[in-house]
A and B are shown apart, each in its own frame.
Chain A
Amino acid sequence: DIQMTQSPSSMSASVGDRVTITCRASQRLGNYLNWYQQKPGKAPEVLMYGAFNLPGGVPSRFSGSGSGTDYTLTISSLHPEDFATYYCQQSYSTPYTFGQGTKLEIK
């Protein structure tokens, strides 16, 4: 199985801050890397697919980058509704494994 490691596990930031979350895979993914946002009591929702592609309806303050084994999710300017938990997920091969999550809290 491909192991996914996210960092940090948690972080605090303020509205307006620029935030970066990192995801590292145990093998090269060829950009088959997705990001999800989960708010308390809700199902996760896709935020990014194919490493840097935004699904319709996702704000442009979210961006993705990376290649090989290392990928990042960046929020350019935090909005109040962005405080949530973020997960990366590899879709290169089954089982489709997730990172352990990054909880983004208000400072």
Chain B
Amino acid sequence: EVQLEQSGTEVKKPGESLKISCKASGYNFANYWIGWVRQMSGKGLEWMGIIYPGDSETTYSPSFQDQVTISADKSLSTAYLQWSSLKASDSAMYYCVRRTFTAAAGIEYNWLDPWGQGTLVTVSS
């Protein structure tokens, strides 16, 4: 079974650093893009960025560029999302997702599945 297991709830102070993780199992981690999605309390889903663990190619949403760093360790089948200096506005649920794809008749569709269970980050003084 393909699964993404995320690290646990974090409570931090403004200015602190943080690195949360997403461990994959049940498939070849290096061959599928892994993305991160933010959901602030009571709000919608926001795309943050995505990494290809095979070669660590990474793209960020402009809204999150320079705000976070996405990385991956193939040897551990784990992707990471990190902040160097947290702000209260970073308080949210963060989900990792696998970019799953299928190809037929020359068309490759992709979608996000599975999703990790989410990591709740609270930043408060």
Interface residues of A (CB under 8 A from B): 1, 31-32, 34, 36, 38, 43-46, 49-50, 53, 55, 87, 89, 91, 94-101
Q: Which of the residues A36, A53, A97, A99 comes within 8 Å of B112, measured between beta carbons?
A: A36
Nearest 4 CB-CB pairs, A to B?
A50-B109, A95-B61, A49-B111, A43-B115
B61 and A91 contacting across the interface, CB-CB below 8 Å = no
Contacting A at CB under 8 A, from B60-75, are 60-63
B115 and A44 contacting across the interface, CB-CB below 8 Å = yes
Tell whether B53 is near chain A: CB-to-CB under 8 Å. no
A91 and B110 contacting across the interface, CB-CB below 8 Å = yes
Complex Cα distance, B44 from A78, in Å, reads 23
Tell whether B47 is near chain A: CB-to-CB under 8 Å. yes
Complex Cα distance, B104 from A31, in Å, reads 14
Number of A-B contacts (CB under 8 A): 67
Query: A1 to chain B: which residues have CB within 8 Å?
Result: 61-62
Query: A99 to chain B: which residues have CB within 8 Å?
Result: 44
Query: B95 to chain A: which residues have CB within 8 Å?
Result: 43-44
Query: A43 to chain B: which residues have CB within 8 Å?
Result: 95, 115-118
Query: A101 to chain B: which residues have CB within 8 Å?
Result: 44-45
Taking A31-B109, A95-B59, A95-B63 as known contacts, 16 extra A-B pairs with beta carbons closer than 8 A to each other, sorted by chain A number, are: A1-B61, A34-B112, A36-B45, A43-B116, A45-B113, A46-B111, A46-B112, A50-B107, A53-B109, A91-B111, A94-B50, A95-B47, A95-B62, A96-B35, A98-B47, A101-B45
By DSSP majority rule, is chain B's interface helix, strand, loop, or mixed? strand
Query: B44 to chain A: which residues have CB within 8 Å?
Result: 87, 98-101
The contact string, 1 if C-beta is below 8 Å from chain A, for chain B 83-125, is 0000000000001000000100001011111011110000000
